[in-house]
Amino acid sequence: MASMIEPKLISGNSNRPLAQAIARRMSMHRGMSVGLVDARVERFNDQEIFVEVFENVRGEDMYIIQSTSNPANDNLMELLIMTDALKRSSASRITAVIPYFGYARQDRRAKARTPISAKLVANLITEAGVDRVLTLDLHAAQIQGFFDIPVDNLYAAPIFALDVEHHFKGKLDRLTVVSPDVGGVARARELAQRIGSGLAIVDKRRVKAGEVAEMTVIGDVAGQICVIVDDICDTAGTLCKAAEVLMAAGAKEVHSYITHGVLSGPAVERITNSVMKSLVITDSIAPTEAVKQAKNIRIVATAPMFAQAIMNIWSGTSVSSLFDAETLGPIYEGMYSRG
């Protein structure tokens, strides 16, 4: 049974367009206007972050929408300070909606005398007063265990499956899903099973950190439309190189589906000039103008899924139901046709 307390959304500065889109989708679900709580998240002259909430939040079920993307430290501090402001204002429950969880790549000690920063960030979020976390495609699933509070980790694969079925209608039998490295095989297999396609792997061999010496394709991609799947694209060097290797192996076309488009440094230029016909990313990170104008980069919406997940958390119903195409399909009705 749904709580009598209505869910309330508040947003930091990291991805306000996504927060507004989630509010609009929730308005459609609720049949009543759902807006963002009136607040200001500003900086003093010395760049200290200041938060002031202008509405009463006492006893409310609050959802802070804030990706910890670039600038990661500023956006993380905004999240922590907003949490403290709500906690001290007697909010009954605080859920951090983090579409992109920064520091997730630092999930283990790969070398001696290095930190596990993902665990540190999890501690900071928990100690600040967050009661629950809702996020999307964590770089490593075990990061959920870094928190001592409930974590709902959504997946982009169901949305990507809808997008692939829509844009490659009539060509699905010629599609091969490709993992850009051995570590991402589980993610690629998930999409391949959803769309009923084959699976291939690009095996990377490094002579030293940050330098790929050789790439080998494991699997037959000759004459196939290849779809590379990964969770993060940063500088796009490895992704573009993988696309070249696939084309050299006889692939007809190469497309990529990446959950989090970090796209830093020369990434957009590399993608624009690459052999990839398209790169599809989600809006978990607010796109830059360069990303918006790139001719072969397309953005898919996550607001419908996040809005429904928030509604399910609020009402105490299943969040994992959103992993099923039968549940997610109707939520994206109007965007994709599966007929």
So which residues are the catalytic ones?
204
Contact criterion met (CB below 8 Å) for 298 and 164: no
Backbone angles phi, psi at 17, to 5 degrees: -60, -40
Sign of CA dihedral 284, 288, 289, 295: negative
Q: Which of 239, 312, 226, 247 is nearest to 270 (CA)?
A: 239
* Distance in angstroms (rounded) separating the CA atoms of residues 224 and 86: 52
* Distance in angstroms (rounded) separating the CA atoms of residues 339 and 179: 28
Residues 6+ apart with CB under 8 A from 184: 229, 230, 231
Backbone angles phi, psi at 87, to 5 degrees: -60, -45
β-strand pairing of 175-179 with 151-154: unpaired
**∠ CA 223-180-327, rounded to 5°:** 90
Q: Which residues pair with 216 in a beta bridge?
A: 203
* Distance in angstroms (rounded) separating the CA atoms of residues 41 and 32: 26
Q: How many CB atoms lie within 10 A of CB 159?
A: 27
In one-letter notation, the amino acid at residue 4 is: M
The three-class DSSP label of residue 227 is strand
In one-letter notation, the amino acid at residue 289 is: E
The whole-angstrom distance between residue 253's C-alpha and the CA centroid of its chain comes to 25
* Distance in angstroms (rounded) separating the CA atoms of residues 58 and 91: 5
